[in-house]
Amino acid sequence: MNAIPDERRVRLGAGAGYSGDRIEPAVELAQYGALDYLIFECLAERTIAIAQQARRLDSELGYDPLLEARMRAVLPVAVKNGVRIISNMGAANPRAAALKTAQIARELGLSGLKIAAVTGDDVLDVVRQGDFKFEESGESVASIDTRIVSANAYLGAAPIVEALANGADIVLTGRVADPSLFVAPLIHEFGWKMDDWAMLGQATVVGHLLECAGQVTGGYFADPGFKDVPNLARLGFPIGEVSADGSVVITKVQHAGGRVTEATCKEQLIYEIHDPQRYLQPDVVADFTQIQVVEESDNRIRVSGGRGTPRTDTLKVSVAYVDGFIGEGQISYAGPGAVARARLALDIVRARLTIMGVATRELRFDLIGIDALHGETAGARNAQPYEVRARVVGRTDSMAQAIQIGNEVETLYTNGPAGGGGVTKTTREVIAVQSVLLPRAHTMPTFEFVEA
Amino acid sequence: MKLRELAHSRTGDKGNTLNVSVICYDARHYDHLREQLTPERVKAHLSDVVRGDVVRYELPNLAAFNFVLGKALGGGVTRSLALDAHGKSLSSALMDLDILDPR
């Protein structure tokens, strides 16, 4: 029997690259992208901890704050065009996100949608009861037990694949590795095996290219005169047109702003990876070293050659915990002598914080415009900008002391150098994140349906 | 000449570690930049930000390098006191590096 070559193309669109991302390019993709799937990656390291705090106050919350706005904008056109939706907007409460989405669908008059919630990433109890050490600091997790807010494992594609196989139109997850949101529909469509490491490696390349949305279509790329991007204000989000051999063409809606080139694809390929031969993911250890990036035609870039080796026995878990407070104040100086007056201002605040006995675990003094971003550089030593902004920021154990830092910058108005203006003061509670490695057997990823 | 004339770059963050790509506009400059951009040179150029080791990974297929910078984010994105807690602007500092003209 001769195998019939599979000539299908599966079209994946990226509808968001982070939780606050623009919504209109997602609507544009659902409308004009001829998509099979629209995928929203909305969960940064710390986002889930903030969502967990919201859930503790109200058990029906804890999902992405923009979920409702996104679903209202996208659902009508996605349903009309038969586009399935996958997103980690479930954050700390995927079930509540699914219920909310079902309610929105009903209000929009869309019936019969199968909406799935993927759970099992919340491993707070397991991490609390076990004997784990943080990968970053080596501290034991038990030493900060009372301050832990959340612990979520990076799940792989499997529970999303199952939900799709059972007919899900919309899949909402909590913590899932970003590329796995894209790997899952490819496994479902092409029937790839969960231990076909080469294929999963290439699928990870596809997900990695798409997961930051506009960052591969010319966003975060423009450098006038060196790297120009047309119509950035109307930047479109990417489409990945995937073949059965796993190779992908990255492209965009023709009339959308932005540009897809070999250069935009390469920048995104190397973004946030360490060893390109061993990019650790829950589904596979991906190998990016043999990747080929070739322009097929204007705004159509073919990427192939991703490979992989077997996945590891552990999952990465992000543990979020309360870690004191940060207080900050800023003030600007301008004109002749601006830098000298700003330096004097910093010296005064440094001395006054000592006099006032403000206890800080860490203090930092910056001159924005000179050394705030990269410290003592050659450029910083000689810089005499027309205007400069003094910044004082410190870590404290109490909110009261954090407030005092900003206050000592504010008092520079009447107690500091001449001509200071534009004081701002901020304080915030710090939610820090470190990771532990959890044996896979300790997680039970699953999904459930909520009927709309 | 400045590195910016031969290559482009993007910075990514993970925990307290940064990665900075250097991608040749013209693949013919890859070997030249391989000689110029040693990890030691990159660490020295970014010395006030990077407290840990600098590791260079080579991607000849892409005519690119990936520099991984340890202890570069003031204890990590989530707790850093830095104005640019993600270190995202660091790619521009690297593009300011003086290199020899390849001709």
Q: What is the pLDDT of residues A187-198, one digit of tens each?
A: 999 999 999 999
* Minimum-distance CB partner of B8 among A267, A363, A394: A267
* Per-residue pLDDT at A10: 98
Nearest CA in chain A to B88: A373
Domain assignment of residue B23, yes or no: yes
Chain B hits for A274, Cβ within 8 Å: 14, 17, 19, 57, 66, 68
∠ CA B36-B84-A174, rounded to 5° = 105
Contact A308, A327 (CB under 8 A): no
Closest CA to A451 of A65, A103, A60: A103
* Per-residue pLDDT at A435: 95
Domain assignment of residue B41, yes or no: yes
Sequence spans of domains, chain A: 9-120+155-312, 323-432
Give me the mean pLDDT over the A381-409 stretch: 96
Chain A hits for B57, Cβ within 8 Å: 274-277
Q: Is B39 on the interface with A (CB under 8 A)?
A: no
Question: Predicted confidence band at A452 (pLDDT cuts at 50, 70, 90)?
Answer: low
Q: Using the predicted structure, report yes or no on whether residue A372 has a pLDDT greater than 90.
A: yes
Q: Is A405 on the interface with B (CB under 8 A)?
A: no
Q: Using the predicted structure, report yes or no on whether residue A4 has a pLDDT greater than 80.
A: no
Chain A hits for B82, Cβ within 8 Å: 364, 372-373
Q: What is the pLDDT of residues B31-68, one digit of tens each?
A: 999 999 999 999 999 998 999 999 999 999 999 999 99
Domain assignment of residue B39, yes or no: yes
Q: Using the predicted structure, report yes or no on whether residue A177 has a pLDDT greater than 70.
A: yes
Helix (H) / strand (E) containing A158: helix A158-165
What residue numbers bound the domain in which B28 lies?
3-72
Domain assignment of residue B92, yes or no: no
* Per-residue pLDDT at A6: 81
Nearest CA in chain B to A261: B25
Question: Exposed, middle or buried, A432 (CB in 10 Å: 0-12/13-18/19+)?
Answer: buried
Closest CA to A286 of A185, A200, A158, A177: A200
Q: Using the predicted structure, report yes or no on whether residue A351 has a pLDDT greater than 90.
A: yes
Domain assignment of residue B15, yes or no: yes
Which of 3.30.70.100, 3.40.50.2000, 3.40.50.12780, 1.10.10.10 would CATH assign to domain A323-432?
3.30.70.100
Domain assignment of residue B89, yes or no: no
What one-character DSSP code corresponds to residue A122? Answer: B
For A330, residues 6+ apart whose C-beta sits below 8 A from its C-beta are A368, A389, A390, A391, A392, A409, A422, A423, A424
Q: Using the predicted structure, report yes or no on whether residue A1 has a pLDDT greater than 60.
A: no
Domain assignment of residue B77, yes or no: no
Domain count, chain B: 1
Distance from the Cα of B38 to chain A's closest Cα (Å) equals: 17
* Per-residue pLDDT at B94: 96
Cβ neighbours around A354 below 10 Å, total: 11
Question: Predicted confidence band at A2 (pLDDT cuts at 50, 70, 90)?
Answer: low
Domain assignment of residue B42, yes or no: yes
Q: Is A231 on the interface with B (CB under 8 A)?
A: no
Taking an 8 Å cut-off on Cβ atoms, the answer to whether B78 and A432 are in contact is yes
